[in-house]
Amino acid sequence: MNTTEVLKEALAALRSGGVILYPTDTVWGIGCDATDPEAVARVYEIKRRSEAKSLVLLAADLDMVARYVRQIPNIAIDLVEVNDRPMTLIYPGAIQGPYGLAENTVAEDGSVGIRIPLPGFWRDLVARLGRPLVSTSANLSGEPTPRRFSEISEEIRSAVDYCVPAALERDSTGSASQIIKVGLGGEVEIIRA
């Protein structure tokens, strides 16, 4: 399989406002450009999920995170530097609107969950996109999270614009990331260990 060609096809779908099905460093996900509100709305529609529930995003690095949150708490920098497993941080002060994230990616309190994925196809994809990527599990809301491509329903598979080949799941951990909410004053709340 030619990973360069797969990246090119996935990026073309994302840049045209499409939704993709892809393996992440954790589980299989549905994704789109997190700055495109119409694409994000499609993700909610595909999953049959309430827009009241915010989404996790992937960023290539802390520099990308810094473009979409007002301030990165120092504790977040420390956590990213020492972490060696998938970790989603919930940052306060998401930047929304025409030069920021789609409003439908941000929680009611203005926070946003962002994970810098472990190295692999998924990080390359986000880096080449140049913007955060929505990363929500590839299942209908309320159904089990698919850890492998074979567990994804046909309804989900047929609803996306592009599907990354299943062979790329080889480096996924198959388990959800830890989730930690951080505050500007150094506050840390572990949501999921």
Residue 52: pLDDT band (50, 70, 90) is: confident
User: Which of 80, 170, 156, 70 lies closest to 116, judged by CA?
Assistant: 80
CA distance 138 to 50: 15
The CATH-assigned architecture of domain 3-192 is: Alpha-Beta Complex (3.90)
Chain centroid offset of residue 6 CA: 18
pLDDT tens-digit map of 84-104: 889 999 999 999 998 999 999
Residue 1: pLDDT band (50, 70, 90) is: low
For residue 187, give every residue at least 6 positions away whose Cβ sits within 8 Å of its Cβ, in sequence order, or none. 75, 181
Q: Does pTM top 0.75 for this prediction?
A: yes
